[in-house]
Amino acid sequence: DSGVTQTPKHLITATGQRVTLRCSPRSGDLSVYWYQQSLDQGLQFLIQYYNGEERAKGNILERFSAQQFPDLHSELNLSSLELGDSALYFCASSVGTGRTGELFFGEGSRLTVL
Amino acid sequence: GENVEQHPSTLSVQEGDSAVIKCTYSDSASNYFPWYKQELGKGPQLIIDIRSNVGEKKDQRIAVTLNKTAKHFSLHITETQPEDSAVYFCAASRRRSGGGADGLTFGKGTHLIIQP
């Protein structure tokens, strides 16, 4: 158990809909990261938050947005969903300061868009 | 941005033999190179990492080597066991001195199959 909690584990929805994925980082971790994993693209970095502020942005679509709340949990919002958005979405967290670079991944939220 | 290439995509080895997975990166500013193992139905888990001021690092049956000049790094697993079967990802990033970690750029993964 990595200590990172993601909900829901599975989600099935229709094209055009909007969903919210939730992540609770490990206790004490200030950074939260979102990754999208699909069969043909591997693990794609979407966005990183550090202590509530956006820190880095990757290949995140404009239809997607995220935020990190004062209690450090994070939400990834996916809107106007398309079939191609079907994927496994991972949240990871890391210690905000210090020398270790390890990311701790949750077990993912599997999104299926029909 | 950073681009990480990983080979092979699938690797099948006999139990007890060694396995080698290779990665190349494009951004010369990258200074941190972790390897993650992902078992079926789980999230990736760090197994070993190396920083750019080190050329090799070992942890029991696992070792990683880094060639900064050529911008490539490799994972070596010796005496492979059935539980080594998984998908392995290499990654690269730049560490920030002010805290936190840059988003990792991952390779596309190698499915390692250990044949009994």
pLDDT in tens, B32-67: 899 999 999 899 999 999 988 889 999 999 999 999
User: At residue A114, does pLDDT exceed 50?
Assistant: yes
CB-based contact, B43 to chain A, within 8 Å = yes
CA distance A69 to A71: 5
Q: Are B94 and B52 in contact (CB under 8 A)?
A: no
Distance of CA A99 to the CA centre of its chain: 23
> Is the CB of B93 less than 8 angstroms away from the CB of A55?
no
Q: Are A44 and A33 in contact (CB under 8 A)?
A: no
Task: Determine the distance in angstroms separating the CA of B54 from the nearest CA of chain A, rounded to an integer.
Answer: 15
| Residue B54 confidence (pLDDT) | 81
Residues of A in contact with B41 (CB under 8 A): 107
CA distance A98 to B95: 11
Helix (H, G, I), strand (E, B) or coil at A108: coil
| Residue A98 confidence (pLDDT) | 36
Mean pLDDT of A36-40: 86
Confidence of residue B29 (pLDDT cuts 50, 70, 90): confident
Q: Are A46 and A58 in contact (CB under 8 A)?
A: yes
Q: Which residue of A has its CA nearest to B3?
A: A44
∠ CA A75-A35-B103, nearest 5°, is: 100
| Residue B102 confidence (pLDDT) | 62
CA distance A18 to A1: 29
- Write the burial class of residue B111 (CB in 10 Å: 0-12 exposed, 13-18 middle, 19+ buried): middle
| Residue B52 confidence (pLDDT) | 82
Q: Which residue of B has its CA nearest to A57?
A: B103
CA distance A57 to A64: 12
User: Mean pLDDT for chain B?
Assistant: 91
Q: Are A37 and A91 in contact (CB under 8 A)?
A: no
Greater pLDDT, B104 or A70: A70
CA distance B99 to B101: 7
CA distance A34 to A37: 10
Residues of A in contact with B1 (CB under 8 A): 58
DSSP-derived secondary structure letter, B101? B
CB-based contact, A70 to chain B, within 8 Å = no
> Is the CB of A45 less than 8 angstroms away from the CB of B46?
no
